[in-house]
Amino acid sequence: MNLALFILSIILMIFNLVWIVSFTPMVFEQHWAQKIFYIHVPLAWVGFLSYFFVMLAGILYLVSRNLKYDRIGHAAAEIGTLFTGLVLITGPIWATPVWGKPWVWEPRLITTLVLFLIYIGYFILRNVGLYRQRVALICAIVGIIAFLDIPIIFASVDFWAADIQLHPQRVMSKQPSGVFIPFLFSLFSFTILFFTMLFFKIRVLYSKDKKDNYV
């Protein structure tokens, strides 16, 4: 199953990239920069999905104290932080020709950066030398608390006045099919990639715990 999922994710991502580069329409005044949209937003989706798994795994660990949930949370956190980092890279690439500058201290960017920095701290905690169960406990709590930032990121375009933000409002359902359909396909492709990476990373962490006699 894992091999099939890996092959499926590779096929989907190749098809997705070809579709984005070759067949998605240009948007007025954005030109090629707009193509990044089909990557940037799914990257953010996977990041948020990953952190949801971290939060859920954290709750399950606190209830059960079973280290398998810590492995799930750890794996999801690594994926989420990788993809959130890519969001913070692709965003400025897209923003430069659209906004005229790569970075603006506006609500959605700031709250996303805060989330990324929280998880940098999360991984520092995982390497401070505490015993395994204490690390799992602390990281479960951090993962649950960190997730509270995600609704703030998502709703930031509503919380703050429009004159202090540059991110577009949530109007994807109003987009023409030439934009909306490949966008949905890209979301699906990145979601499959997420589960492929999650299963692989969990197996790696399981092998490490087994070697260290925690399984």
What does the pLDDT profile of the chain (215 residues) look like in tens digits?
Answer: 678 889 999 999 999 999 998 888 876 666 667 788 899 999 999 999 999 999 999 999 999 999 999 999 999 999 999 999 999 999 888 888 777 788 888 888 999 999 999 999 999 999 987 899 999 999 999 999 999 999 998 887 777 655 556 666 555 555 656 788 999 999 999 999 999 999 999 999 999 999 988 87
Q: Amino acid identity, residue 124?
A: I
**Taking Cα atoms as reference points, which of 137, 150, 151 lies closest to residue 74?**
137
Q: Which two tokens stand for residue 198?
A: 């999650």
Strands, E assignment, the chain = none
The CA distance from 85 to 43, in Å, is 9
Taking CB atoms within 8 Å and a gap of at least 24, the contacts of 29-35 are: 29/98, 30/97, 30/98, 31/97, 33/93, 33/94, 33/96, 33/97, 33/98, 34/94
- pTM of this prediction exceeds 0.75: yes
Q: Which two tokens stand for residue 157?
A: 């375009």
Is residue 77 a contact partner of residue 51, using CB atoms and an 8 Å limit? yes
